[in-house]
Chain A
């Protein structure tokens, strides 16, 4: 992180970094198991450890149970976490996305009852936005809710809902007014995942993991007091949610790529046979060199993002340039390292050229999602063309 913030804050952040670093050298950092159910359990415990030590909700207000510091403090901690090879807490959707929206738009009761359990990891949250026919065009969602006495009655289907099968709560967008224009008839509801009428079905990703799910809702009763914000006013909340998600996500992922490339360099440079075949040696150097260039490009790009985060500008079209670069760079870095596995890529258990084959094969497959989630690369290009270059709408 560099100089786009003022010197006083920069000094404070460096002090905070030292604090993070020294805590991370003392704590026992958990190994993350490959099995997803095991992983969920370990990471949830880890969130509890982080929470007890005051590293959760760093940029949240004190009233909401957070630490009352800035987004930049949160970024510093995330950076140090990655550098210490420590995992992120499991409840990131709650911490980064749902929680800040409840804190900003929710009622006093919603905030006081839900946020402490969200922070500690006792409640894991998922976010029910996407639907089979409403992904990039989110405003076309069809899951609907009718008011019946003190409840909403919700029916429909959600998809790509991360951790839905393990989550206790879902922040869900539902259509509450079929007559209003598409984005004006949507409300933001908090749904207890143990309610009768909810069925979740995990989808298996190409990595073999089951992180996201389909969620089927059949006449699910949700108390009216679980409405966040105005009736039919959910779209503004969703936009706020997606905006804060993007900048924070970009900054955190950048550091994770840096750490990954450093791991690859360590593995490769410790391998004595790396230079045995000149053609292979050339490929190794080229993959490392190009990846390093990519990550420096991303670092330079995110200096502006940090400035925006510090100034709390909210979502801006420039975020789309970040996201587009982030997608390409994630795929370039993981793709070029995984290519070094050669034919052993399909038998990813050994250490070709010193590389941990299982890890790089997995991470490369995972990188293919980067240009799809959080708004596809095509959607980002439309935003750049129309809002930054002023080209006419299709």
Chain B
């Protein structure tokens, strides 16, 4: 069932992008780091952002695995913009908001930026997470994708040993959003600072165990989707590189006939294929995974994706020779995107370490900053 669904969604998205989203458009969008309202509206009109939004909020109501399928195609075509944010955040949040609060009909159409300190670990020295203090938010996070462009900031904050989830409009008093230079061709970035106390008096959308459940799923799905996008990138670069080495000639023969080149391509294929199979398996299993198993499943998938896809990119650059290092091909764009995704929510080292820790302790997967 999941299998068929994943294939169908992926094919639909892929067919549209193959038709309407060529190399020239990719370059134009990459030059503005993916911020183009008209393009977002075009995708919105196709209904992709509503795929996993519940029917009660006028969405298509598909399982979240459908978002994974779409994300693989977005990766394959290197589609910039707040895509994962729009595909996932409203859909996931609407599943967790119960009927007791006010309905959030503004969510499906909104550009929501994700301010979850777990996305960046504790890598930034002045980044110490976001906390609830005196009824408002304190802390900062760098980088936040599309922080300045977003209609809402979905913020995960720590509140006296528990989590609280806020939706904050950018005009919230005490909230400072400052653009920073981005090396990710597909995303604009910002530093978000909550000067004390930002958003005082604003009610969180989720608190306590409900917030805990949401955040667990959020982090798991963010990792799975990053892996899916990386899988799309890897698949594409194997195809492109394989085509290139069959036409590029040296010593009077296509370089694809040399064993050193063939073996590199074979390794790239094995990495991309196994990553794809891992993502397919994760999408199939995630929907029915328990809250205890989902974080491990996601961490494993992301850990492998972070290593495998970047490895494929690096080999693709090598196989293209000098041109692979220039901006004459799209390879640098794919590579930079893969590097951006590698670090987001933990790379292979970081995650392998946490996975090992959990297995040895016979416990669940801890997030950085968790009190042990």
Instruction: Please give the number of chain A residues whose Cβ is less than 8 angstroms from any Cβ of chain B in the complex.
Output: 40
B5 within 8 A of A: no
A284 within 8 A of B: yes
Question: Could you tell me if B277 and A300 are in contact, using CB atoms closer than 8 angstroms?
Answer: yes
B19 within 8 A of A: no
Contacts of A303 in B (CB 8 A): 277, 281
Question: Could you tell me if B352 and A389 are in contact, using CB atoms closer than 8 angstroms?
Answer: no
Contacts of A2 in B (CB 8 A): 281, 284-285
A170 within 8 A of B: no
A157 within 8 A of B: no
Question: For residues 258 through 301 of chain B, which have their beta carbon under 8 Å from a beta carbon of chain A?
Answer: 258-259, 261-263, 265-267, 269-270, 273-275, 277-278, 280-282, 284-285, 300-301
A313 within 8 A of B: no
Question: Could you tell me if B270 and A384 are in contact, using CB atoms closer than 8 angstroms?
Answer: yes
Stretch at the interface among B124-132, B174-182, B353-361: B353-361
B349 within 8 A of A: yes
- Distance between Cα atoms of A393 and B277 in the complex (Å): 28
Given contact pairs A304-B277, A381-B263, A274 touches B300 in the complex (Cβ within 8 A)? no
B245 within 8 A of A: yes
A297 within 8 A of B: yes
Contacts of A393 in B (CB 8 A): 257
A31 within 8 A of B: no
Question: Could you tell me if B356 and A286 are in contact, using CB atoms closer than 8 angstroms?
Answer: yes
Type the 1/0 row for A364-378, where 1 means its CB is closer than 8 Å to any CB of B.
000000000000001
B303 within 8 A of A: yes
Contacts of B301 in A (CB 8 A): 296
Contacts of B275 in A (CB 8 A): 297
User: In angstroms, how far is the closest chain A Cβ from the Cβ of B295?
Assistant: 14
- Distance between Cα atoms of A297 and B277 in the complex (Å): 8
- Distance between Cα atoms of A300 and B304 in the complex (Å): 12
Given contact pairs A321-B273, A391-B242, A286 touches B349 in the complex (Cβ within 8 A)? yes
User: In angstroms, how far is the closest chain A Cβ from the Cβ of B318?
Assistant: 16
Question: Could you tell me if A391 and B269 are in contact, using CB atoms closer than 8 angstroms?
Answer: no
Question: Could you tell me if A289 and B356 are in contact, using CB atoms closer than 8 angstroms?
Answer: yes
Given contact pairs A321-B270, A384-B270, A389-B266, A293 touches B300 in the complex (Cβ within 8 A)? yes
B134 within 8 A of A: no
- Distance between Cα atoms of A49 and B352 in the complex (Å): 42
Type the 1/0 row for A99-129, where 1 means its CB is closer than 8 Å to any CB of B.
0000000000000000000000000000000
Question: Could you tell me if B360 and A300 are in contact, using CB atoms closer than 8 angstroms?
Answer: no
Question: For residues 234 through 265 of chain A, which have their beta carbon under 8 Å from a beta carbon of chain B?
Answer: 265
Question: Could you tell me if B278 and A297 are in contact, using CB atoms closer than 8 angstroms?
Answer: yes
Give the interface residue-count category, chain B: 35 or more
User: In angstroms, how far is the closest chain B Cβ from the Cβ of A353?
Assistant: 11
Question: Could you tell me if A282 and B353 are in contact, using CB atoms closer than 8 angstroms?
Answer: yes
A9 within 8 A of B: no
Question: For residues 249 through 299 of chain A, which have their beta carbon under 8 Å from a beta carbon of chain B?
Answer: 265, 268-269, 274, 282, 284-290, 292-293, 296-297, 299
Question: Could you tell me if B304 and A297 are in contact, using CB atoms closer than 8 angstroms?
Answer: yes
User: In angstroms, how far is the closest chain B Cβ from the Cβ of A104?
Assistant: 30
Question: For residues 304 through 352 of chain A, which have their beta carbon under 8 Å from a beta carbon of chain B?
Answer: 304, 321, 324-325
Contacts of A25 in B (CB 8 A): none
Question: Could you tell me if B353 and A293 are in contact, using CB atoms closer than 8 angstroms?
Answer: no
Question: Could you tell me if B353 and A392 are in contact, using CB atoms closer than 8 angstroms?
Answer: no
B362 within 8 A of A: yes
- Total inter-chain residue pairs, C-beta < 8 Å: 132
Contacts of B277 in A (CB 8 A): 297, 300-301, 303-304
Q: Which of A293, A301, A380, A390 has the most CB of B within 10 A?
A: A293
Contacts of B75 in A (CB 8 A): none
Contacts of B253 in A (CB 8 A): 392
Given contact pairs A285-B356, A289-B359, A388 touches B269 in the complex (Cβ within 8 A)? yes
B256 within 8 A of A: yes
Question: Could you tell me if A390 and B242 are in contact, using CB atoms closer than 8 angstroms?
Answer: yes
Contacts of A325 in B (CB 8 A): 270, 274
Question: Could you tell me if B262 and A386 are in contact, using CB atoms closer than 8 angstroms?
Answer: yes
Instruction: With CB as the reference atom, state the residue of chain A lying closest to B301.
Output: A296
Question: Could you tell me if A265 and B360 are in contact, using CB atoms closer than 8 angstroms?
Answer: yes
Question: Could you tell me if B257 and A391 are in contact, using CB atoms closer than 8 angstroms?
Answer: yes
- Distance between Cα atoms of A1 and B270 in the complex (Å): 21
The one of B261, B267, B352 in contact with A286, judged by C-beta atoms closer than 8 angstroms, is B352
The one of B262, B267, B281, B348 in contact with A391, judged by C-beta atoms closer than 8 angstroms, is B262
- Distance between Cα atoms of A388 and B238 in the complex (Å): 11
Question: Could you tell me if B262 and A321 are in contact, using CB atoms closer than 8 angstroms?
Answer: no
Question: Could you tell me if A284 and B360 are in contact, using CB atoms closer than 8 angstroms?
Answer: yes
A179 within 8 A of B: no
Q: Which of B280, B282, B360 has the most CB of A within 10 A?
A: B360
A63 within 8 A of B: no
User: In angstroms, how far is the closest chain A Cβ from the Cβ of B308?
Assistant: 8
Question: Could you tell me if A292 and B266 are in contact, using CB atoms closer than 8 angstroms?
Answer: no
Contacts of B348 in A (CB 8 A): 290, 293
Contacts of A274 in B (CB 8 A): 360
Question: For residues 317 through 349 of chain B, which have their beta carbon under 8 Å from a beta carbon of chain A?
Answer: 348-349
Question: Could you tell me if A292 and B284 are in contact, using CB atoms closer than 8 angstroms?
Answer: no
- Distance between Cα atoms of A296 and B303 in the complex (Å): 11
B254 within 8 A of A: yes
Contacts of B144 in A (CB 8 A): none
Question: Could you tell me if A288 and B359 are in contact, using CB atoms closer than 8 angstroms?
Answer: yes
Given contact pairs A269-B360, A381-B267, A392 touches B355 in the complex (Cβ within 8 A)? no
Given contact pairs A292-B355, A321-B274, A269 touches B361 in the complex (Cβ within 8 A)? yes
The one of B258, B274, B360, B362 in contact with A297, judged by C-beta atoms closer than 8 angstroms, is B274
Given contact pairs A289-B352, A293-B355, A392 touches B284 in the complex (Cβ within 8 A)? no
- Distance between Cα atoms of A265 and B359 in the complex (Å): 7
Question: Could you tell me if A289 and B357 are in contact, using CB atoms closer than 8 angstroms?
Answer: yes
- Distance between Cα atoms of A301 and B269 in the complex (Å): 13
Instruction: With CB as the reference atom, state the residue of chain B lying closest to A296.
Output: B300
Q: Which of B269, B352, B356 has the most CB of A within 10 A?
A: B356
User: In angstroms, how far is the closest chain B Cβ from the Cβ of A296?
Assistant: 5
User: In angstroms, how far is the closest chain B Cβ from the Cβ of A14?
Assistant: 16
- Distance between Cα atoms of A285 and B303 in the complex (Å): 14
Question: Could you tell me if B274 and A287 are in contact, using CB atoms closer than 8 angstroms?
Answer: no
Question: Could you tell me if B281 and A269 are in contact, using CB atoms closer than 8 angstroms?
Answer: no
Question: Could you tell me if B360 and A385 are in contact, using CB atoms closer than 8 angstroms?
Answer: no
14 A-B contacts (beta carbon < 8 Å): A2-B284, A269-B360, A269-B362, A288-B360, A289-B353, A292-B359, A293-B300, A301-B278, A381-B266, A382-B259, A384-B269, A391-B256, A391-B262, A394-B262
Known: A292-B356, A300-B277, A301-B277. 7 other contacts (CB 8 A): A288-B355, A290-B348, A292-B359, A296-B300, A304-B277, A324-B270, A394-B257
Top 4 A-B pairs ranked by shortest CB distance?
A289-B356, A289-B352, A285-B356, A381-B266
